[in-house]
Amino acid sequence: MNQPSKKASVIVIFGATGDLAKRKLFPSLYNLYCKGELEEDFAVVGVARRKLSNEEFRSRVHDAVIDTACMDKDDKHKQFSDHFFYQPFDVTKSESYQDLKALTESLDTEFNIPGNRIFYMAMAPEFFGTIALNLDAEGLIEGDGWNRLVIEKPFGHNFSSAQKLNDEIRQVFSEDEIYRIDHYLGKEMVQNIEAIRFANALFEPLWNNRYISNIQITSSETVGVENRGGYYEKSGALRDMVQNHMLQMVSLLAMEPPASLSTEEIRSEKVKVLRALRAVIPEEVSKYFVRGQYDAGEVNGTHLQGYREEENVDEASNTETFVGAKLMIDNFRWAGVPFYIRTGKRMTSKSTKIVIEFKDMPMNLYKEQSGKLGPNLLVIHIQPEEGMTLHLNAKDTGDMRKTTPIQLNFNNKQENYINSPEAYERLLHDVMRGDATNFTRWDEVALSWKFIDPISIAWANEKEPTFPNYASGLMGPQASDDLLEKDGFHWWPLPENK
Ligand code: NAP
């Protein structure tokens, strides 16, 4: 028998009949398999309440991966699906765990797996603690191999619920066995932030308050809440997007160069940024934060209803579907540089991008000329385009005293699109390899909730009388533009009519 690979493992997916498993996990596993990143020594056990046979489960997996861009689909798929097994499961019953134990141990033998386990929580968070405690009580994590627990967002809905959840899972798993997913950290261009900063002599010397005037991060969606009104009413954009994805991007942009690219060095530098974030006291929330809720509107000739008309949404809802904010990082590098963030639903376009706006030179000889002179911008396109654009000024071809803005572009899609793995694929592969760099450590989660809690409390206590305050299809409420204008800035790119 061959030596098992380092990634050899039984992957148990709790919630394997759900949306996440179908849309993200199965296609990601299949892509890894097709690319040869997974050897034959793995097995996947799907568990959920409903009763399915292995064959029925494999047929679901087949349907989920049928559209993936994978060569040699038919043959590969048959071999791939032979690694999948299903077990009906009740998370509260010890028999379910005993059956799972017996199944995983038999799969160790069948697939030459040395007892390694990945437990992937693709279920509602209220079950995570119960499952972890039962896995321990029923002896599922006492084998010879390694154990890894993968936890989806939301990791709590405030600091105290996050701490409670963390305490439960920490009774069973050590911090380095826990992989808290923030799928933005799996995105190609988010991972590229470190390379752009720390592999280019051009940028890092300028990456501070002497040369950067402000940084802007926009993550906009065109869709509304769709059929997730019930979930969104309890979450809102602040908890759904800002506490995790937006603050993670801020940390990567603002952190000091780590001593090395190791997991702990990078995460330790990120956490220092969160510690330096200026806390927003409840009385000052409106100075730093803006909230919005979408109204009805016309988008591409289609009439779309407002948030309060959506299914499972209160008709007087106070839930924000948009957040704009000015974050200040009170440390030596960033003192005085605002980090503006905005995120929301039903906005003009679906896009995530970062704009770094550089200060003008102390004396710019071209300033008084009649040509166009723009600030230098570095734009990092996270999605749907992947790449970066550097905005510079060059001589106007006609007049030697005039300048004109030019752009240098790098478009990752053109170069590498076919090979560029999706975020979940990359993150699943990292879990198998035991690389936790692109997962959030508990202290990051704790600090980001502590930062967010006073804002969500203030907003819950005070209804926003102007809601709904932006029409579907706009980039949020006017107050979001005002937030920057007060500081003499504006969101990039400029709206067409400005
Ligand atoms: P979902 O479609 O509602 O699926 C939930 C899964 O849990 C189903 O497989 C369901 O199957 C199973 N389940 C529910 N109650 C159970 C119980 N008592 N015992 C055993 N199984 C049970 O949810 P989802 O969208 O996949 O989301 C799963 C988790 O991922 C959630 O925490 C969510 O917040 C997070 N997440 C999802 C996405 C996404 O894109 N969907 C993105 C980010 C995070 P049965 O009905 O057969 O039991």
61 lines ligand 1 (CB under 6 A): no
Nearest CA to ligand 1 atom 40: 20
Percent of the chain clearing pLDDT 70 (strictly above): 95
Average pLDDT, the chain: 93
62 tagged catalytic: no
Greater model confidence, 497 or 335: 335
Pocket test for ligand 1, best of 47, 49, 153 (most atoms within 8 A of CB): 49
Find out whether 432 and 7 touch, Cβ atoms under 8 Å: yes
Which residue's C-alpha comes closest to atom 39 of ligand 1?
A: 20
- The CA distance from 371 to 252, in Å, is 36
DSSP-derived 3-state class of residue 191: helix
- pTM metric for this prediction: 0.95
- Ligand 1 atom closest to 231 (CA): 34
pLDDT of residue 71 exceeding 80: no
Contacts of 364 by beta carbon, 8 Å cutoff, 6+ apart:
373
Q: Kindly report, residue by residue over 194-235, the tens digit of the pLDDT.
A: 999 999 999 999 999 999 999 999 999 999 999 999 999 999
Mean pLDDT for the stretch of residues 453-480: 97
Cα–Cα distance between 344 and 114 in angstroms, integer?
Answer: 45
Span from the CA of 121 to the centroid of ligand 1 (angstroms): 8
pLDDT of residue 497: 42
What is residue 311's predicted lDDT score, i.e. its pLDDT?
A: 96
CA-proximal residue: ligand 1, atom 22 (nearest) = 48
**Stretch 364-383: mean pLDDT:** 87
20 lines ligand 1 (CB under 6 A): yes
At residue 372, the pLDDT reads 76
- pLDDT confidence tier of residue 72, bands split at 50, 70 and 90: low
- Which entry of 245, 381, 391, 429 is annotated as an active-site residue? 245
The answer to whether 216 and 337 are in contact (CB under 8 A) is no
Confidence of residue 305 (pLDDT cuts 50, 70, 90): very high
**pLDDT (tens digit, 9 = 90+) per residue, 22-65?**
999 999 999 999 889 999 999 999 999 999 999 999 999 999 98
Task: Please identify, by atom number, the ligand 1 atom nearest to the C-alpha of residue 49.
Answer: 48
Mean pLDDT of 332-353: 97
- From 20, 93, 161, give the residue whose CB has the most ligand 1 atoms within 8 Å, as the site to mutate: 20
pLDDT at 366: 86
Could you give phi then psi for residue 117, rounded to 5 degrees? -135, 140
Is the CB of 125 within 6 Å of ligand 1? yes
Give me the amino acid identity at 191: Q
CA-closest candidate to residue 469, choices 350, 349, 353, 344: 344
**Peptide bond between residue 375 and the one before it cis (omega within 30 degrees of 0):** no
Helix segments in 209-312, DSSP class H? 229-237, 247-254, 263-276, 285-288
Q: Which two tokens stand for residue 70?
A: 């994978």
Q: Is the pLDDT of residue 1 over 90?
A: no
Q: Is 278 within 8 Å of 451 (Cβ atoms)? A: no
Q: Is the CB of 49 under 6 A from ligand 1?
A: yes
237 confidence band (pLDDT: 50, 70, 90): very high
The CA 85 to ligand 1 mean position distance, Å, reads 18
CA of 183 to the centre of ligand 1 (A): 16
50 within ligand 1 shell (Cβ under 6 A):
yes
Angle at 309 between CA 453 and CA 383, to 5 degrees: 60
- Preceding peptide of 88 cis, ω within 30°: no
> Is any ligand 1 atom within 6 A of the Cβ of residue 18?
yes
Does the beta carbon of 291 sit less than 6 angstroms from any atom of ligand 1? no
